[in-house]
C-alpha cells in the first residue's frame, strides 16, 4: 500500500501522524510553539508552515490525511514531486495569511492547526486538472464530477465563514488555501516557474 504513495504525499502523512502522536504526550508545548497564533507575542514566523502538521483530534487528522491520500497522490504523479511540494506548501502559506488576516480583523486570540488549507488547495487543483473525474461523497453517497464537488464545497465554505456557522472551523483559511493554489496554477500557466515542462500527461 505505502509503496504506491509518492514521496511528498507519504512524507506529509507520516509527519502529520508523528506529530499527532507527540501531541498526545506534549500537546500544550507543541501547540504553544507550532500552532498558528494570531499576530502578537505568541506568533513566530515558522508557524505559517508548522501549524499544518498539528491536528486537534484523530478524526481531524484522519479526514485531512485521507483527502491528501486521495487527491495528493494523483497530483504528485501528474506534476512530479518537486512541483507538487511547491504547490502544497504555497497553499498552506496562503491559508495561513488568510487566517492571520481574519484573526487580526476579528481580534481573535485562538490558534489554528491542521492541514486543511493545503488540502483545499489540492482539491482546487484536482478539479482544475481532472474536472470530470467522478468523486463519491461519503455523506450522502452521491457521485459527482470533481469540478462540481469543489465548486459546491467552496461556496459552502464561504457561506459558513460569512455567517459564522461551525464555530471553531477556519473557513477562511480553507478558502485562502484554494485562492493560493489558484494563483500558483495561474502563474504556471502564464509560463512562470519553468512553464509546463514538468507536467506528465496521463490521458
Domain boundaries, the chain: 2-194
pLDDT, residue 195, reads: 41
* CATH code that applies to domain 2-194: 1.20.1540.10
Given a cut of 70, whether residue 197 has pLDDT beyond it is no
The distance from CA 134 to its chain's CA centroid, rounded to whole angstroms, is 21
pLDDT, residue 167, reads: 63
Higher pLDDT, 30 or 1: 30
Higher pLDDT, 8 or 193: 8
pLDDT, residue 51, reads: 96
Confidence of residue 154 (pLDDT cuts 50, 70, 90): confident
**Residues 119 and 67: beta-carbon distance below 8 Å:** yes
Q: Which residues pair with 104 in a beta bridge?
A: none
Given a cut of 50, whether residue 171 has pLDDT beyond it is yes
- The mean pLDDT value for 167-172 works out to 75
Amino acid at each position: 500500500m505505502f509503496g504506491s504513495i509518492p514521496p511528498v504525499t507519504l512524507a506529509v502523512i507520516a509527519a502529520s501522524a508523528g506529530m499527532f502522536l507527540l501531541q498526545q504526550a506534549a500537546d500544550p508545548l507543541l501547540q504553544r510553539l507550532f500552532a498558528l497564533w494570531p499576530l502578537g507575542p505568541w506568533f513566530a514566523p515558522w508557524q505559517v508552515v508548522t501549524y499544518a502538521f498539528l491536528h486537534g483530534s484523530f478524526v481531524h487528522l484522519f479526514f485531512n490525511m485521507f483527502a491528501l491520500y486521495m487527491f495528493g497522490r494523483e497530483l504528485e504523479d501528474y506534476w512530479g514531486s518537486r512541483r507538487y511540494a511547491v504547490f502544497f506548501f504555497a497553499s498552506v502559506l496562503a491559508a495561513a495569511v488568510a487566517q492571520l488576516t481574519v484573526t487580526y480583523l476579528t481580534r481573535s486570540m485562538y490558534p489554528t492547526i491542521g492541514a486543511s488549507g493545503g488540502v483545499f488547495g489540492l482539491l482546487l487543483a484536482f478539479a482544475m486538472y481532472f474536472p470530470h473525474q467522478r468523486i463519491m461523497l461519503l455523506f450522502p453517497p452521491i457521485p459527482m464530477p470533481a469540478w462540481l464537488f469543489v465548486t459546491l464545497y467552496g461556496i459552502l465554505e464561504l457561506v459558513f465563514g460569512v455567517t459564522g456557522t461551525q464555530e471553531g472551523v477556519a473557513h477562511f483559511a480553507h478558502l485562502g488555501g484554494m485562492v493560493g493554489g489558484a494563483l500558483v496554477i495561474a502563474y504556471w500557466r502564464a509560463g512562470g516557474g519553468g512553464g509546463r515542462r514538468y507536467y506528465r500527461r496521463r490521458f
